[in-house]
Chain A
């Protein structure tokens, strides 16, 4: 498949309904992680530019909140239609800048659109509630759901299209105005999607895009007119965003890192489980916050399972994601690759057995790409850094345990609580796992527990800071407040 463009040039900000050049002369190169080529330059927008965008969003808010929900929804219907038309281009651009495969990119584009589809239902979704004589006889009480003002998202590199859509469609549909700051590593996809946003017909200032780095993020977190921040990234940064934004009186939903375990019980359907796990461990080159990382084999399933799993892992095709036959692309950067290789080296040094070693992989024609091959490290122990830290790469650390309770205890020893899965045909084991495991997303024979748009993307412990999550009703509650009205007429 061909690339949409070889180079996307210097990116612009989209503020107050117009594409504008940043006044900053600081530019950041955007690299194609498969080819090593520079494919765009992203301006590091200034503090003043960010403040100006916030003011314009605030100005736009009053009129937007007075726009009836059904009229707001109509713009989202239009946006959906436009995104469908751009579907393949969005997916291809995502491959170019992020490295994931075209199928993964299509799947992500679909998920972005699903959030728009849910936002289309906003007139029904933001009903308040009321009670006649609720306060006393002849005195009624109502709770009205109201928007709050300007919100903003600070987004990560692993899902350039979807993650901003966990937030902004809900915020804007409920009557707020919004600023998206895409990841500085992958800004092109979101910039491209904003062409559809522009055509959809949102009033100027309602939805804005500001490219940049920490200057933009810090300004958004500090500015008194920003009511709330949505963030996805690593746990240390999520905690920083949560703390800083809360100190400045904002609502915060900050999704952090993960270390997800997939537990295999002796009675699992082996063929189906292996196939499903391959997607979990190696999908998006392991750079999902829902990616499997620890593979926990219970009892005597270990030997036969490892044989099948390793054989299947060897067949994973690695290469440029625009070749539809490839199962896995590169990781995002040279820095990321170095970090991943460091974890593999460390685990091997500590006694792990690399039954499949992706460290030396060569992809012909893509020598400058940041590829790491599928790696399976057997006989790992819970104390190894590779079993505890978020590696964010296609590395499987295999632990052998005796019981399900031992596996759950191990999962609970992690500071993370994003996702965990069990593979079994036994309802009791599945029920115990679901009930006991302290993680926000639980899979039963499902290795990528990615909540659909109408469900919240959950997360416990250091995997999430805040209370209301992205997507679904949680998002609607995050972007609105409840105003109670008590009415008496004489």
Chain B
């Protein structure tokens, strides 16, 4: 099981750190699913999703490094950490349907996190908000993909 450490989302950096933990968690769950013999029929899909989440992590690191404007470092006081925690403790030996349902919950929570973060980031950094909106939309698309399995 991949272990995530979710910080309090009180700064731009902490929001990005939270997002990175979401991506790490999601990628870890998909990797486990891809290795699970009972879910072998969807292994390629799970592998692709794991890779996509890892790549999203790179985008977040890039955003943090390139888009942060020192002038706009306002404290963030209205994103509650507890509302977006995800479960990465995938039960052993699940079938495709159960595994997809488990992962879909992560996608759903992530989508909500990115939508809410984008709303907050809009007043700080428009460019970062755009990235978060994009990631949230991808979460929604991923969830739909999982539900079709």
B77 at interface by CB-CB < 8 Å: yes
Closest to A87 in B: B65
Contact B73 A279 (CB under 8 A): yes
Contact for A315 among B7, B71, B77, B123, CB less than 8 A: B77
Q: A327 to B65, Cβ gap below 8 A?
A: no
Q: How long is the Cα–Cα vector from A176 to B33 in the complex, in angstroms?
A: 60
How far is A275 from B122 in the complex, measured between Cα atoms in Å? 13
Cβ contact within 8 Å between B71 and A450: yes
Give A317 to B8 CA distance when docked, in angstroms: 10
A324→B17 contact, CB < 8 A: yes
- A103 lies within 8 A of B12 (CB): yes
Cβ–Cβ contact B71 & A275, under 8 A: no
- Neighbouring A residues of B64 by C-beta, 8 Å: 106
Q: Report A100-114 CB contacts with B as 1/0, cut-off 8 Å.
A: 011110111011000
B59 at the A/B interface (Cβ < 8 Å)? no
The answer to whether B8 and A107 have CB atoms under 8 Å apart is: no
Kindly state the separation between the CA atoms of A448 and B69 in the bound complex, as whole angstroms. 11
Check A107/B65 contact, CB under 8 A, given A325-B14, A326-B11: no
Given contacts A84-B65, A108-B70, A110-B70, contact A324 B13 (CB under 8 A): yes
Q: Tell me if B74 is interfacial: C-beta within 8 Å of chain A.
A: yes
Cα(A84)–Cα(B13), bound, Å: 17
- Decide if A107 touches B75 in the complex (CB within 8 Å): no
A446 to B7, CA, bound (A): 28
Q: Is the CB of B74 within 8 A of A278?
A: yes
Alpha-carbon distance between A275 and B71 when the two chains are bound, in angstroms:
12
A316 within 8 A of B: yes
Q: Is A205 engaged at the interface, CB distance under 8 Å to the other chain?
A: no
Q: CB < 8 Å: which of B12, B13, B123 contacts A275?
A: B123
Residues of the A chain whose Cβ atoms lie less than 8 Å from the Cβ of B66: 110
Number of A-B residue pairs having CB atoms within 8 Å of each other in the complex = 74
Contact in complex: A278, B75 (CB < 8 Å): yes
Q: Give the distance in Å from the alpha carbon of A323 to the alpha carbon of B10 in the complex.
A: 11
Q: A110-B65, A275-B123, A325-B8 are in contact. Are A104 and B77 (CB under 8 A)?
A: no
Main secondary structure of the interface of A (DSSP, over half): helix
Query: B5-34 toward A: CB 8 Å interface, digit per residue (1/0)?
Result: 001111111100100000000000000000
A107 near B10 (CB under 8 angstroms)? no
Interface positions of A from 243 to 280, Cβ below 8 Å from B: 272, 275-276, 278-279
Contacts of A102 in B (CB 8 A): 13
Is the C-beta of B68 less than 8 angstroms from some C-beta in chain A? Answer: yes
Question: Contacts A87-B65, A106-B13: A325 and B77 contacting too (C-beta < 8 A)?
Answer: no
Are B75 and A448 within 8 A (Cβ)? no
B13 to chain A: which residues have CB within 8 Å? 101-103, 106, 324
CA distance A107 to B11 in the complex (A): 13
Which residues of chain A have C-beta atoms less than 8 A from B123's C-beta? 272, 275
Is residue A139 within 8 Å, beta carbon to beta carbon, of the partner chain? no
Bound Cα distance A323, B7 (Å): 9
A20 in the interface (beta carbon within 8 A): no
- Contact between A327 and B70, CB atoms less than 8 A apart: no
Contact with A along B69-110 (1 / 0, CB 8 A): 111111101000000000000000000000000000000000
Chain A residues near B9 (CB-CB < 8 A)? 325
What residue in chain B is nearest A311 (Cβ atoms)?
Answer: B77
Contact B73 A325 (CB under 8 A): no
Q: In the complex where A108-B70, A110-B70, A111-B70 touch, is A325 in contact with B7 (Cβ < 8 A)?
A: yes
Point out the residue from B8, B68, B71, B77 that lies within 8 Å of A103, measured CB to CB. Answer: B68
CA A50 – CA B146 in complex, angstroms? 67
* Chain B residues positioned under 8 Å from A282 (CB to CB): 75
Q: Contact check, B75 vs A327: say whether CB atoms are below 8 A apart.
A: yes
- Contacts A106-B64, A279-B75, A315-B77: A448 and B70 contacting too (C-beta < 8 A)? yes
Could you list 15 further interchain pairs (A-B, Cβ under 8 angstroms) beyond the known A276-B74, A323-B7, A450-B70?
A101-B13, A103-B13, A103-B68, A106-B13, A106-B65, A107-B69, A108-B70, A110-B69, A312-B75, A317-B8, A325-B9, A326-B10, A327-B11, A448-B71, A449-B71
Q: Which residues of A contact B (CB under 8 A)?
A: 84, 87-88, 101-104, 106-108, 110-111, 272, 275-276, 278-279, 282-283, 312, 315-317, 323-327, 446, 448-450
Interface residues of B (CB under 8 A from A): 7-14, 17, 64-66, 68-75, 77, 123
Pairs A-B, 5 closest by C-beta atoms: A107-B70, A103-B13, A325-B8, A324-B14, A324-B13
23 A-B interface contacts by CB (under 8 A): A101-B11, A102-B13, A103-B13, A103-B68, A104-B73, A106-B65, A106-B68, A107-B71, A107-B73, A110-B66, A110-B68, A275-B75, A312-B75, A324-B7, A324-B13, A324-B14, A326-B10, A326-B11, A327-B10, A327-B75, A446-B71, A449-B71, A450-B71
